[in-house]
Amino acid sequence: MANDLFNSFMTGPDENGRFGQFGGRFVSETLMPLILDLEAEYENAKTDDSFWAEMDFLWKHYVGRPSPLYLAERLTEQLGGAKIYMKRDELNHTGAHKINNVLGQIILARRMGKTRIIAETGAGQHGVATATVCAKFGLKCVVYMGAHDVERQKPNVFRMKLLGAEVVPVTSGRGTLKDAMNDALRDWVTNVRDTFYCIGTVAGPHPYPAMVRDFQAIIGKEAKAQMLEAEGRLPNTLIAAIGGGSNAMGLFFPFLDDKDVEIIGVEAGGKGVNAKMEHCASLTGGRPGVLHGNRTYLLQDDDGQILEGFSISAGLDYPGIGPEHSWLHEIGRAKYVSITDVEALEAFQLSCQTEGIIPALEPSHALAHVAKIAPDLPKDHIICMNMCGRGDKDIFTVAKALNWDMEESD
Amino acid sequence: MTRIDAKFAALKAEGKKAFVAYVMAGDPDYETSLEIVKGMPDAGVDIIELGLPFTDPMADGPTIQLAGQRALEAGMTLNKTLDLARAFREDDDVTPIVLMGYYNPIYSHGVDRFLVNAKAAGIDGLIVVDLPPEEDSELCIPAQAAGLNFIRLATPTTDNKRLPKVLQNTSGFVYYVSITGITGAASAVATDVGPEVARIQAATDIPVIVGFGIRTPEASRDIASVADGAVVGSAIVDLIGKGQSPSDVLAFVRGLAAGAHSA
Ligand SMILES: Cc1ncc(COP(=O)(O)O)c(C=O)c1O
């Protein structure tokens, strides 16, 4: 690279919240003043040591960070190629990476004097994390969840209720994450004065994509230090699953300027990336558009109407992707691939059987891509994949997909 | 001078407030929707707000969400919405049409191509909910250059510090959203709205029209009396959703218009 400073991939977004042409603030006027307040508050917190001291304390004592970087030896052996490490964010309190970000946003909400927290959730992990932190701080919590997802992620619905949150099933559209986000935005417009919208991924209007990334970047910062300690060098390849893209951005961001590190994001291929759009691979199968406050790649028809997508994984079932990923895709810094439901289910079982780790269906997509490429890579090629969530919430879905009768003993 | 400017000049000369009616283009189908729209000027509608269907109307309540779904299911598109405006223009060259919707269908169509086609179809102004002043370079500035009014929403959260920014590139009229919320929700209260409208009027010469939460002829009159006019949407769309005939819908619209005009 000719000029390292000017070619840094880590300076975005610009003052208009853009990563190249992506991102921005496409929201109604009612929300705009609040979004500007939030941006100011976040800019302030970012350079405030007391903010990060509080985050570090809670990350350590409440979430259980740092999460281990784990060498998956039997998996490596079985695949017979590249050396595979897992960043174990599934060990976090509440079972996924989502809480890394929720803590940051709730601390900000408290600084802004907001007393009511709303969130959207797909798999329910972000909803559970938000309900958890709200319980801890005594804040009112309302979670919007697509009716279809309420059905397929029942354990998480019950967890949220136990934690004192109100769960609102959303019946518009196909009843998935996109629809939950619409209703959360509608709630926010209505209750803008006392309510903080805690977005669960690197999407939405600026400053959310940057803010959520910065909170999730703890994953990549730890992974980098841990990898240097374990191997004395950086990994060759990073792999993470993408719904909106927060666990992926969190792992990728601290490595963006390490130009020898290959970066691969894995989108949900559903039944296969086909013309019928029975998938959620926004970058592979979509084109740029504007939804939920930002410009990014979206699944849409010729008229600009948003399509529903399809994935076995509720957390990946979203027709968009965070704007920074769209930018990394267009400039070629990261590569994006897709994995089908069938491939993800195979990887899910592979992880259970070789490593004793029951993964969530979301990182099972990342693992499936690892399984696809690792055998052909040399043994000194190091892959670091983000095991961003555990699979307890998915056992019913997987049982059904594998035709296992949960009611029957043994 | 656009049709919108001409309409306000004419209303002013008569000492009348404006009545603006919203319907979703293509709801429940193209023909019925066209029939309703064509009947509006005679029912007393001064400005027609034509909803552009979108799958994800984030600022709309259930009534308008469902209207959009009905329209889309009946095959409505942006092109057909422009066809509907063109068909209306065949017998009416004075009543302004404002297209109201969300940015993605327009962006997907291509902004330049959209502006040419919208102008040719007889559209006079645009209200695009998810384009705040911060995104003016996307559509607002090109639209003004193409001779279309870009009508901005001002809301209860638009404080005095922000107001100049909201008014800066606004033309035609300012649409004051009477509540913090979505369409079809809470009802607007004239005593709350009046001072807010006065605050905006003090900062601009263009008319200030109030919408959201107006459902009856009385509310239409009360709100119009403290502003330059009133907009009704969900209450009309509700009737269309219930399957009422165009003549019944228009009879209701006539009452709303009479309310605003009596202010
Ligand atoms: C375990 C897990 N991984 C990934 C995701 C997808 O979100 P993101 O792409 O923002 O990491 C979710 C969302 O619910 C999740 O629960």
Helical H segments across chain B, by residue range = 3-14, 30-43, 62-73, 78-89, 103-109, 111-121, 140-145, 163-168, 190-201, 217-225, 234-241, 246-261
Which amino acid type is present at position A217? Answer: A
pLDDT in tens, chain B (263 residues): 899 999 999 999 999 999 999 999 999 999 999 999 999 999 999 999 999 999 999 999 999 999 999 999 999 999 999 999 999 999 999 999 999 999 999 999 999 999 999 999 999 999 999 999 999 999 999 999 999 999 999 999 999 999 999 999 999 999 999 988 899 887 888 888 999 999 999 999 999 999 999 999 999 999 999 999 999 999 999 999 999 999 999 999 999 999 999 99
In a shared domain, residues A261 and A393: yes
Q: Using 50, 70 and 90 to split pLDDT, how confident is the model at A5?
A: low
Count how many pairs of residues, chain A against chain B, have C-beta atoms within 8 Å.
115
With CA atoms as reference, report the closest residue to B22 among B56, B58, B68. Answer: B68
Q: Residue written as tokens 């196909």?
A: A174
Same domain, A131 and A203: yes
Which residue's CA is minimally distant from atom 10 of ligand 1? A246
Residue A87 shares a structural domain with residue A203: no
Radius of gyration of chain B (CA): 17
The protein residue whose alpha carbon is closest to atom 3 in ligand 1 is A362
Looking at the domain assignment, is residue A17 inside a domain? no
Co-location of A340 and A287 in the same domain: yes
Average pLDDT for A44-68: 98
Domain limits of chain B? 3-261
Ligand 1 in reach of A237 Cβ (< 6 A)? no
Statement to judge: residues A257 and A342 lie in one domain: yes
- Does residue A176 share a domain with residue A88? no
A1 pLDDT above the threshold of 60? no
Task: Let me know if residue A384 belongs to a domain.
Answer: yes
Q: Which of A217, A181, A334 is nearest to A267 (CA)?
A: A334
Asked if A190 contacts B155 with a C-beta cutoff of 8 angstroms, the reply is no
**DSSP string across A309-377:** ---S-GGG--S---HHHHHHHHHTSSEEEEEEHHHHHHHHHHHHHHHS--B-HHHHHHHHHHHHHGGGS
Same domain (yes/no): A166, A282:
no
- A248 CA from centroid of ligand 1 (Å): 9
A362 in the same domain as A248: yes
Cα of A313 vs centre of ligand 1, distance in Å, is 9
Q: Which helix (H) or strand (E) holds A263?
A: strand A262-270
Cis peptide, bond prior to residue A66, ω within 30 of zero: yes
**Are A269 and A396 members of one domain?**
yes
Q: Which ranges in A47-97 belong to alpha helices (H)?
A: 49-58, 73-79
Taking an 8 Å cut-off on Cβ atoms, the answer to whether A28 and B104 are in contact is no
| Residue finishing a domain among A197, A212, A227 | A212
ipTM greater than 0.90, yes or no? yes
- Full residue range of the structural domain in which residue A290 is found: 66-95+218-401
Number of domains composing chain A: 2
Residue A21 in any domain: the answer is no
Q: What is the pLDDT of residues A284-327, one digit of tens each?
A: 899 999 999 999 999 999 999 999 888 998 889 899 999 999 99
Residue A378 forms part of a structural domain: yes
Q: What Rg, from alpha-carbon coordinates, does chain A have?
A: 20
Pick the CATH number of B3-261 from 1.10.150.120, 1.10.1370.30, 2.60.120.620, 3.20.20.70: 3.20.20.70
Contact A28 B78 (CB under 8 A): no
Is A389 inside a domain boundary? yes
Same domain? A350 vs A389: yes
For position A328, which CATH number holds? 3.40.50.1100
Query: Which residue matches tokens 């927290």?
Result: A117
The answer to whether residue B90 is catalytic is no
- Choose the final residue of a domain: A212, A247, A270: A212
Q: Are residues A230 and A364 in the same domain?
A: yes
Cβ-nearest to B180 among A192, A292, A303: A192
| Residue A311 alpha carbon to ligand 1 centre in Å | 13
| Domain final residue, candidates A180, A212, A244 | A212
| Of residues A170, A123, A162, A163, the one with CA closest to residue A144 | A170
